Amino acid sequence: MTNAAVSSVSTSPSTERRKKILLVHPKFPPSFWSFGFIKDIGGFKTVMPPLGLCTVAALTPPQYDIELQDENIEDLNFDTDADIIVISCMAIQEKRMFEVADEFRKRGKLVCMGGPICNVLPERCRPHCDVLFEGEGEYTWKQFLGEWEKGEHKDRYVQVDKIDMRDSPPPRIDLLKHRAYRLGCIQTTRGCPFTCEFCDIIVTYGRKVRAKPIENVIKELQAWADAGVDFITIADDNLVGDRIYAKKMLKAVGDWNRARKVPLSFYVEMSVDCVKDPELLELMRHANICEAFLGIETPRMSSLKETKKMQNVATDLATAIKIIQSYGMVTVAGMIVGFDSDDKLIFNDQYEFLQKAGIPIVMLGLLQAIPRTPLYERLEKAGRLRAAAQGNNTLSFTNVDPICMSYEDLINGYRDLFARLYTWEAVGDRWLSNVEQWGKKAYYLSQPGKTGPDGKEIKPQPRKWIQKPLGRFKPFLALQTIKIFKYYFNGNAARAKFATRMLWGTLKRAPSALFQTVSYLAYFIHLREYADKVVAKEYKFNYVLDQVNTSGNKFGEGGSINMVKLEKEKKEKINVFDAYKGAEKEVPKEIAEDLVATK
Ligand code: B12
Ligand code: SF4
Provide the CB-side half-sphere exposure for 47 (13 A, CA).
15
Model confidence pTM above 0.75:
yes
488 or 463, which is more confident: 488
Q: Is 194 near ligand 2, meaning CB less than 6 Å away?
A: yes
Average pLDDT over residues 119-143: 95
507's enclosing H/E stretch is helix 493-509
Q: What sign does the CA torsion over 364, 368, 370, 375 have?
A: positive
Q: Give the Cα-Cα-Cα angle 417, 420, 423 (nearest 5 degrees).
A: 150
- Please give the distance, rounded to the nearest whole angstrom, from the Cα atom of residue 442 to the centre of ligand 1: 36
Find the helix or strand (DSSP H, E) in which 330 lies: strand 330-337
pLDDT in tens, 432-482: 999 999 987 665 555 556 666 677 766 556 788 899 999 888 888 889 999
* Average pLDDT, integer, range 233-252: 95
Predicted pLDDT of residue 10: 44
pLDDT 10s digits, 74-116 = 999 999 999 999 999 999 999 999 999 999 999 999 999 999 9
* Whole-angstrom distance, CA of residue 4 vs CA of residue 159: 8
Pocket residue to mutate for ligand 1, from 1, 3, 33, 188, most atoms within 8 A of Cβ:
33
Q: Which of 23, 92, 104, 129 has the most ligand 1 atoms within 8 A of CB, as the residue to mutate?
A: 92
What pLDDT is recorded for position 138? 97
Name every residue whose Cβ is closer than 8 Å to that of residue 279 and which is 6 or more positions away in sequence: 247, 451, 452, 453
Ligand nearest to the CA of 370: 1
Half-sphere exposure of 254 (CA within 13 A, CB side): 19
* % of the chain with per-residue pLDDT over 90: 69
| 321/294 Cα distance (integer angstroms) | 9
Amino acid residing at 517: T
Q: What structural domains and CATH numbers belong to the chain?
A: 4-162 (3.40.50.280), 183-458 (3.80.30.20), 560-599 (no CATH)
Helix (H) and strand (E) counts in the chain: 22, 14
